[in-house]
Amino acid sequence: MTRLKNNGGFTLIEMVVVLVLLAIMGAIAGMAIINVTNGLLLTKQNAATALKTQVALSRLDKECHIITVISAASTPTALSFTNDRGGSVTSFTLSQNGTYIDLATGGNPADHLIDNVVNNSLLFSYLQSDGITAATPPDTAKVVKISFKLTGAEGVQVPFTMSIAPRPLLNEPA
């Protein structure tokens, strides 16, 4: 009887087991790569939303810090005011138009300050100098509280609030 020599190769079963294990590891690695990619995209979208919000809030802060008069026509959903920038008195109206917050200057068309605003979420509170007590009517306010919600990545609604105490209004006698 002749004896077969051991060729040292792999059997078919060993090859199939290795292929199955490689397929399982590849699927796990693929899911991890997809999750990391989705996380990066969410981070990018949220960073863009945060930047847009920061720019809009900075513009609001700039315009509202030099308010000289808050109009009696201001409502909880619209702020009408005038400011004096370098000797030029200009009227402004800040309101929500659909999913935009608009700032209208004088008789000019409104500029979109920010988009992706949740419908009917822009609200104004008119407060006394303590920042707590309501000012009625709005033209007696010393502090204006602005709040709104933005739709961020994956439809998440993020609230933003800002209180502004216009310098000229705080310095005038009560």
pLDDT computed for residue 172 by the predictor: 59
The answer to whether 66 and 83 are in contact (CB under 8 A) is yes
Residue with tokens 């999750």: 35
Examine the pLDDT at 132 and tell me if it is beyond 60.
yes
Give Cβ neighbours of residue 121 (< 8 Å, ≥ 6 apart): 96, 147, 148, 149
pLDDT computed for residue 62 by the predictor: 86
What's the rounded Cα separation, in Å, for the pair 99 and 149? 10
Examine the pLDDT at 4 and tell me if it is beyond 70.
no
Question: Is residue 169 classed as helix, strand or coil in its secondary structure?
Answer: helix
pLDDT band for position 165 (cuts 50, 70, 90): confident
Task: Give all strands (DSSP E) within 88-135, no chain letters.
Answer: 88-97, 100-105, 111-114, 123-127
Domain extents in the chain: 12-171
Please give the mean pLDDT across all residues of the chain: 87
Residue with tokens 């008195």: 89
Examine the pLDDT at 115 and tell me if it is beyond 70.
yes
pLDDT computed for residue 3 by the predictor: 65
pLDDT band for position 61 (cuts 50, 70, 90): confident
Greatest mean pLDDT among 2-6, 44-48, 170-174: 44-48
Mean pLDDT of 107-125: 90
pLDDT computed for residue 89 by the predictor: 84
> Residue 146: which of 131, 157, 136, 130 has the closest Cα?
131
pLDDT band for position 138 (cuts 50, 70, 90): confident
pLDDT computed for residue 160 by the predictor: 92
CB atoms within 10 A of CB 70: 24
What's the rounded Cα separation, in Å, for the pair 144 and 161? 11
